[in-house]
Structure 1
Amino acid sequence: MRRRPTMSRVRLHELAARPDGAEWIVGRPATGTFVAVPEVGKRALDLLGAGLSTTETARRLEDETGHDLDVADFVEALVELGFVAEVDGRAVPLPDPPRPTLPRVRPEHVRWTLSPLLPALVAALVTTALVIRPEGVSLAYRTLLWSEHGSLVLAFGAASGWALLLLHELAHLATARATGVPARIRLGTRLQFLVMQTDISGIELAPRRHRMTAYLAGIGVNLAVSAAAALAAGAADGTARRMLAALTVLALLPLPFQLLVFLRTDLYFVLQDLTRCRDLYGDGRAYARYAARRLLCPGRGAGDPSRALPAHERRAVRVYSVLLVVGTALCLVFLAGVTLPADLALLVRAARRLCGAEHTAAQRLDAAAVLVTLGGVHVLWARTWWRGRRAGRAPLRAGSC
């Protein structure tokens, strides 16, 4: 039988906490790892942080609550979470926290992004654009075709799209950094989609208004850019007006994607926060698996995992599981029926043009561009997906916007 080592005193890393109903959300801002603990767990953390030994902490808690808490087991769990810096004067070896994006940007530099005036200004800008309805600005697809030269349309669309995507993610980063969360921008996957996302794990420790600001900051940037471009288009003419009108539409194009909450978009985190769920996606997936096993193999498998959740979470998880299953199925059907056949047809055609001697140099150059671009996207998706699978997820980790 393995003997558990005795631990006397520990030194905790810098932790943050906020009350959440009958529990406390406690986490380490530097790593973005957080957990929910009951009141007695929060009290144990306070006592350990004040320098009391595990034995003294257990005795104090028993005097205060009448419960005999195994503080040694509790400390072992804290060590696994990376919350403990030293045990009896010996440093606990831990990997370095992930390096944040733009580390020179300090919370005091971007504190203004949390001002309640900012969403009011965005709302005023959007309202002004809707009321004025500048001449020459339409949401029709023809607005995107601002030039008769297709190459210019595509180049402008690609440049604008990447610039808007970067602004969207920087908005998440700035608002999260303002709360003290060391956010970082990275590539990720959502089913068949390759996305840029901002890891704002730890934002759950911030007040609700700040959390909502961080979740909705990217959408706010898209709306602000679209409204500003529309107003500018109304004051311009000629090519400049057509380009600004196209930018108005381009800034709005990513927003319908945010409605796909089963892909953990920005609005998913808003929904999770409003329903007061710990892990809406994880719990919804677990319930969907349980429901599938119950349907296919009645009487076999584990029990309903949602039973362990509070009533309000249980209802939200069960409804979300339906969205998760239906939305995922539709995306995979679209992938199998449309996206993959189209991509394969383009790749096969490109390969044939490269191998055939009867094709011109221009056709071969076009084929090489298709292979490099389309093949590169698929390789990048596969690499990003594999890295995400290997990295795994921390307990109650926030995820990414």
Structure 2
Amino acid sequence: MTGAVTENPPVEASTRVALHDLAVRRDRDEWIVGRMATRTFVALPPVGARAVELLGEGLTVARTAQVLRAETGEEFALTDFVRDLAALGFVARIGDRPLPDPAPPRATLPRLRPHQVRLALHPALPLLVAALLTAAVITLFRRPDLIPHYRDLLWSPHGSVVLLSGAAAGWTLLLAHELAHLVTARAAGVPGRMRLGTRLQFLVMQTDISGIELAPRRHRLTAYLSGIALNLSVASALVLVLTGTDPGTTAHDLLAAALLLALLPLPFQCLVFTRTDLYFVLQDLTGCRDLYGDGRAYARHLLRRLLRRPGATDPSTRLPAHERRAVRVYSVVLVVGTALCLAFMAAVTLPVDIALLVRAVQGLGPGNGLAGNADSAAVLITLGGVNVLWLRTWWRNRRERRSASA
């Protein structure tokens, strides 16, 4: 079923436009302008930000162009600029005709208000995390027997118990990690949305905090690093609690396993080529707008040059000098890191998963007893379920990207 397409009214010299509530922040030589309700933002040169300001004051297109010409000595294509703003959803009305306004993306925990979680951005909170981490490090120096080891995960002789408990604890920590991003972003006035996603072969839970780009740098970095800070805080607290338990007891073994599970996601954060939390920190510190997208485009350009394909223009030349350097270095990290990750999956992860699944299927049957069947079923449910969920999430995201680009 095809509906009629509603076109925007024409933009003329005498036209006045009404803008939605827009946030503006200066960033280096540009201005970030965005609409928090739709989590849409764009980087504009100073003249573009000035045009938004003048149009927001109610000046006509012609008068705005006249003011800009007097201030800069240059002509500015205001009609095209207004059309671009309308395409971004920044314009509420052109003349006396309102523009259609699509429903904003659905936020997670919409009843959570910024004033309810404002303490998440308190300057003292990072100091408390640092103090807790310092206490844990000192404790580990004094008690090296508490340093985590992979054997801590094998706290039970039953593999199914280890898998199920590990999955439950791991997903709980993952949910808490993403909630930390959501809460800090909400404290900065950004709605945020949590959902499942994929990063290469990894199934991840991710929090979209688009709009945080409009917040001050301290708030942005706090939102990016809040998940890592939560994992470190949980791990530090567990180290301190472990000092009060006796080795060999069930409580000690469970706490030791939880400690390792809290630390295991942290090395993954270093895989910046998969757009982890540290990737967004790196992107912010380098002043890049789309480090991943520009890095991938530059890597494709190098591949076309290697294959000697005609018309291969360097996409990084349109970027400012500081972004160009960062993008070219990141493109190397992106290609090498992706290749190594996929190779590890093919050589290690996939064969191990297949072997465990085959062994679990073979372990089902009347001759294996109740315990054997339960153990095999737990492996199938846990490991098989994760792989099915990865495939479903990957397919859903792929379909949404196709719909968005259509």
Q: TM-score, normalised on structure 2?
A: 0.89
Distance apart, 1:109 and its partner CA: 0.9
The alpha-carbon distance between structure 1 residues 79 and 386, as it changes in their structure 2 partners (threshold 3 A), is: farther
Deviations 1:345-367 (A, max 9, x none): 4555666777xx88657566666
**Aligned partners of 2:185 and 2:212 also within 8 Å:** yes
1:130 aligns to 2:141 (yes or no): no
| Equivalent in the alignment of 2:58 | 51
**Aligned partners of 1:100 and 1:182 also within 8 Å:** yes
Q: 2:339 aligns with which of 323, 326, 329?
A: 329
**Aligned partners of 1:172 and 1:218 also within 8 Å:** yes
Distance 1:378 1:240 in 2: 31
| Equivalent in the alignment of 2:298 | 287
Distance 2:379 2:241 in 1: 36
Q: Secondary structure at the match of 2:238?
A: helix
Structure 1 unmatched runs, 5+: 396-401
Letter in 2 for 1:75: V
RMSD: 2.6
Letter in 2 for 1:304: D
Distance 2:389 2:325 in 1: 38
Distance 1:304 1:12 in 2: 36
| Equivalent in the alignment of 1:276 | 287
The alpha-carbon distance between structure 1 residues 112 and 307, as it changes in their structure 2 partners (threshold 3 A), is: same
The higher-RCO structure (CA 8 Å, 6+ apart) is: 1
Aligned residue pairs: how many?
Answer: 391
| Equivalent in the alignment of 1:261 | 272
Distance 1:181 1:394 in 2: 25
Give aligned-pair identity as a percent. Answer: 64
Deviations 1:1-29 (A, max 9, x none): x9982351221111111111221011111
**Aligned partners of 1:187 and 1:196 also within 8 Å:** yes
Deviations 1:113-133 (A, max 9, x none): 111111111110111111123
**Aligned partners of 1:137 and 1:143 also within 8 Å:** no
1:242 aligns to 2:249 (yes or no): no
Q: 1:92 aligns with which of 91, 95, 99?
A: 99
* Greater Cα shift, 130-139 or 344-353: 344-353
The alpha-carbon distance between structure 1 residues 251 and 368, as it changes in their structure 2 partners (threshold 3 A), is: closer
Q: Secondary structure at the match of 2:41?
A: strand
Letter in 2 for 1:154: L
Q: Secondary structure at the match of 2:243?
A: helix
Distance apart, 1:46 and its partner CA: 0.7
Distance apart, 1:148 and its partner CA: 4.4
Distance apart, 1:380 and its partner CA: 2.2
Q: 1:6 aligns with which of 5, 11, 33?
A: 11
Distance 1:368 1:240 in 2: 27
Please show how residues 297-336 of structure 1 align to structure 2 within 5 Å.
Answer: 297=308, 300-336=310-346
Distance 1:42 1:390 in 2: 35
Distance 1:127 1:361 in 2: 49
| Equivalent in the alignment of 1:398 | none
Distance 2:135 2:373 in 1: 50
Deviations 1:92-137 (A, max 9, x none): 2232111111111111111111111111111101111111236452
Q: TM-score, normalised on structure 1?
A: 0.90
Q: 2:123 aligns with which of 116, 121, 127?
A: 116
Deviations 1:130-178 (A, max 9, x none): 1123645221222333344544433432222111111110110111111
| Equivalent in the alignment of 2:199 | 190
Distance 1:301 1:59 in 2: 40
Distance 1:383 1:67 in 2: 52
Distance 2:49 2:377 in 1: 60
Deviations 1:289-343 (A, max 9, x none): 0001101125x13311111111111111111100100010111112222333333
| Equivalent in the alignment of 1:233 | 242
**Aligned partners of 1:233 and 1:242 also within 8 Å:** no
Q: 1:202 aligns with which of 203, 206, 211?
A: 211
* Greater Cα shift, 318-327 or 378-387: 378-387
Q: Secondary structure at the match of 2:102?
A: coil
